[in-house]
Structure 1
């Protein structure tokens, strides 16, 4: 017999014993029997209800687990804004963030700074005498920025760059110092050459447009228009349009002809990579969007991509474009870090 049959047998035996007792009360005995029988009838239903509840709980837990499992949960997107803003450190000690300040800033040097969402514009205040003073413009990762100097020269600073320059140009030369990358559109001014210095390299121009990149150990200068004289370590070379000069402290000068758009598209707000390795692409994306990239394996660094598009506000858009051409590529986002992994199909 099963447990229920044994229980019924025991109850029957108890009832028979009670009936044989001389003081047995029929009404009390019948009521006790009815309650016991009804309780035993409800027990299977109760067990079924508990079993159903357990199934629901397990199903809910499984759903939560599936949502949290890798590849099935809602993906984390790379859409965070840069952590820092552009910073202008003025010669008089004041520090402002141009992105948060709009209007005109007056300086002791006799310069006026017009600050807006598009960048900074310096003009000379002719009502004052000039005095020397240099400002420092710090452009963090994720925020390319533009400044127009007091002589009318326009400079586009790429992300992760620093420029030191006079508030007004009142000497025999117009000299600026650069770290990072910048595109220069130099205003012509007879008798006052424009000079860019960076890591021991001096670039002298009279009126020209060119790009300077110092992100690596080399100083790479790309000339778009005009003529540029580049000197370093007692060496000197003249660049003509569509020529590029690469100076490495350990190897000297190296000159070649290039397609200038490969090196200046960033200034126009474009992402342009022509058959570039993924490792090189991620270095640029890291500066543009203030994210770090980690490769799961060395082979993935050598994957090549071609990309030509306006630079979107969010990194996630770029990652989606890259993934659309390689289905075996997976980007996993954790905070401000992008892990590049292979999908095994």
Structure 2
């Protein structure tokens, strides 16, 4: 593997320098089509990302080396009085090689450790044997069986299999506040998991129905497979599709489904509803009802990184804000607030106190935060 990895590192270096020939570009693409190298080019298509990855190389003084490399990239060697800059420039392919080799030689995922308070702010993956691992800055890799595995980095997790297998035991991903996670399941279906949500799914799907269970909110882009329907189960309902895109929100005993394209059948003990694009349905209090046509952008704004309200009920909007930031309402939003609506579009990267000020401005309500607790005072 060493020669192949070094060849990739050399080609990536030329790619960063925009100095690849057509034949070299074709060779790099061919190499990166291999499962074990999937996603590597995306990880190294920005010079700043290499700086982040240098943290893997603990035996090097990464800051010092990187400073030398950055200087050498911006100052031509023939104009530099310091020859080490020229040497560092040519050291870059070897650094990339060391990073790739370290990444590809991992056999295990980082164990989750720490107090419950510490873990509640981490994305936690629970695998088949019950052990928990963290999804974060450290790239992770696991072989599920020959021809199937998973790879994770930051807020992305990818499962893959070369061929159909017998269905494997479930994995569970739990997402904390102020985070979303994108998962590519083994069948090619992509799921985006919202903050304070949990998805349970087979590590590898079998030849029958593909079933997952959700607590919280997720958006699914289901890979079409007429022989294997895809079913999402919540505590109140199930949604069955063949291949489509839809959002499911399940909080506080209520499930709301919004269909973007394709078709979804939503089923409960009270009956079932077939949805067309742009339609939605919800369960609440033992009933199942279809929602009027509405802007589907509202339903998936969270996936795109922002809050979006359009004459929205203040209480529901505030609950969404509290879920994202991990705030606890000290008192329920009572009937006295029902006439208040809010409108606006705000990035979910907005600091919590700034977001609360925005909510105050658009609602006329005073919000007082003490740690994770939030008090509401109607003016």
TM-score by length of 2: 0.62
Shift in Å at residue 104 of structure 1?
1.6
Q: Quick check: 226-235 or 114-123, which moved more?
A: 226-235
Shift in Å at residue 148 of structure 1?
1.1
- 2:112 corresponds to 1:97: no
- 2:214 corresponds to 1:182: no
Larger radius of gyration: 1
**Aligned residue for 2:239?**
203
d(CA) in 2 for partners of 1:84, 1:120: 18
**Aligned residue for 2:204?**
168
d(CA) in 2 for partners of 1:251, 1:173: 26
d(CA) in 2 for partners of 1:131, 1:286: 37
- Long gaps (5+) in structure 1: 1-80
Quick check: 2:128–2:170 contact (8 Å CA) kept in 1?
yes
Cα-Cα RMSD: 2.7
**Aligned residue for 1:141?**
177
Quick check: 2:182–2:191 contact (8 Å CA) kept in 1?
yes
SS at match of 2:320: helix
Match of 2:347 among 299, 302, 310: 310
Match of 1:287 among 316, 323, 327: 323
**Aligned residue for 1:151?**
187
1:228-249, Cα deviation, whole Å (9 max, x unpaired): 1222226232110011112235
Quick check: 1:113–1:122 contact (8 Å CA) kept in 2?
yes
Quick check: 2:127–2:171 contact (8 Å CA) kept in 1?
yes
**Aligned residue for 1:213?**
249
SS at match of 1:172: coil
Match of 1:111 among 129, 148, 151: 148
TM-score by length of 1: 0.68
Shift in Å at residue 143 of structure 1?
2.2
1:188-217, Cα deviation, whole Å (9 max, x unpaired): 123111111222522211111011111132
Quick check: 2:236–2:283 contact (8 Å CA) kept in 1?
no
Structure with more relative contact order (C-alpha pairs < 8 Å, separation 6 or more): 1
Shift in Å at residue 129 of structure 1?
6.1
**Aligned residue for 2:359?**
322
Quick check: 2:166–2:207 contact (8 Å CA) kept in 1?
no
Change (3 A) 1:221 1:94: same
1:114-166, Cα deviation, whole Å (9 max, x unpaired): 1111321111155x965621101112333222211011111111122111111
d(CA) in 2 for partners of 1:285, 1:93: 32
d(CA) in 1 for partners of 2:375, 2:253: 26
Change (3 A) 1:124 1:296: closer
d(CA) in 1 for partners of 2:270, 2:368: 49
**Aligned residue for 1:122?**
159
* Runs of 4+ residues deviating >6 angstroms: none
d(CA) in 2 for partners of 1:274, 1:262: 8
Change (3 A) 1:124 1:284: same
Quick check: 1:323–1:329 contact (8 Å CA) kept in 2?
yes
Shift in Å at residue 279 of structure 1?
1.9
Change (3 A) 1:196 1:109: farther
Shift in Å at residue 100 of structure 1?
5.0
Quick check: 1:331–1:339 contact (8 Å CA) kept in 2?
yes
